């Protein structure tokens, strides 16, 4: 097994392992790399939905996604397809997955079934490195803040409009998106490493507790710009058979929408429901 870092702040590509056949020793190294690098890329993996479920179980039990119906027989895996005639994509903004739930997933698995010859990459940012880079005064402030996170996507055009025009996604429940709202600390502690990371996004955090949206917005915007500075990021290029697993507790991601006219087909699974603290 070869573990090769992708960038200074986060990310690693792991070669020389077939995930569907990995033994306990291999998984011990993978889990250690996951905690160190936060984003792991595995290429050349021929995975069926059952394999994705088994790999996901190595990180935690599957999570529900309340707005999309999963694959037949695999309700926790859903297809993300952007067809040649579509211009909107899924996940095209900086965020950590489903922060509006009481127990968001600790990890997301994304598997490429089809990918364009170029374009359609995903950016990742280390919110752990971003927290570490804060001034003492800003860290003190972040440690005290509680974010109110909503599924309403007020600042991204609304969840229903986002999902309804993306083929391959069987939407449901989008009319009740606003009721999915939860409070989480803006600076959360990783239960395995003990390190802190920022847990706030322009996509999902609508305000801070005991503050208005108007008062909160400038600071949310500042945190978002800070944690996605280039030195905190890495970039993953997709090819068919690539599986990427990332740690939602200390990263954000952004699917780049730069491949109009070319098809992209992914399968997504979130695992490990865990309450931030």
Q: Does the active-site annotation cover 95?
A: yes
CA distance 29 to 17: 11
- Tell me if residue 97 is catalytic: yes
Kindly name the residue from 37, 249, 253, 264 that is annotated as catalytic.
253
Indicate which residue of 37, 76, 95, 128 is catalytic: 95
184 is catalytic: no
- CA-based nearest residue to 6, from 46, 50, 38, 51: 38
CA distances from 164 to 46, 75, 113, 255, 267 (A): 30, 19, 21, 18, 18
Catalytic residue chosen out of the listed positions 37, 97, 128, 267: 97
Among the listed residues 37, 184, 202, 268, the single catalytic one is: 268
| Active site positions, annotated | 95, 97, 253, 268
């Amino acid at each position: 097994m070869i573990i090769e870092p992708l960038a200074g702040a986060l990310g690693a590509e792991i070669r020389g392992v077939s995930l569907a056949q990995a033994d306990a020793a291999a998984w011990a190294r993978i889990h250690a790399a996951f905690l160190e690098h936060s984003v792991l890329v595995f290429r050349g993996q021929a995975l069926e939905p059952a394999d994705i479920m088994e790999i996901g179980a190595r990180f935690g039990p599957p999570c529900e996604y309340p707005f999309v119906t999963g694959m037949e027989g695999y309700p926790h895996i859903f297809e993300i397809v952007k067809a040649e005639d579509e211009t909107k994509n899924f996940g095209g903004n900086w965020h950590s997955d489903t922060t509006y739930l009481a127990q968001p997933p600790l990890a997301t698995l994304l598997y490429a079934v089809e990918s364009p010859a170029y374009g359609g990459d995903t950016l990742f940012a280390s919110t752990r490195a971003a927290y570490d880079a804060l001034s003492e005064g800003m860290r003190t402030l972040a440690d005290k803040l509680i974010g109110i996170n909503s599924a309403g996507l007020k600042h991204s055009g609304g969840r229903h409009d986002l999902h309804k025009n993306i083929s391959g996604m069987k939407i449901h429940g989008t009319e009740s998106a606003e009721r999915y709202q939860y409070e989480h600390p803006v600076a959360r502690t990783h239960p395995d490493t003990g390190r802190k990371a920022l847990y706030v996004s322009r996509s999902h955090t609508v305000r801070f507790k005991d503050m208005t949206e108007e008062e909160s917005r400038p600071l949310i915007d500042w945190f978002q710009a800070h944690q996605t500075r280039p030195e905190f990021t890495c970039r993953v290029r997709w090819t068919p058979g690539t599986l990427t697993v990332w740690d939602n507790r200390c990263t954000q991601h952004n699917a780049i929408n730069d491949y109009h006219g070319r098809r992209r087909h992914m399968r997504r699974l979130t695992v490990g429901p865990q309450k931030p603290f």
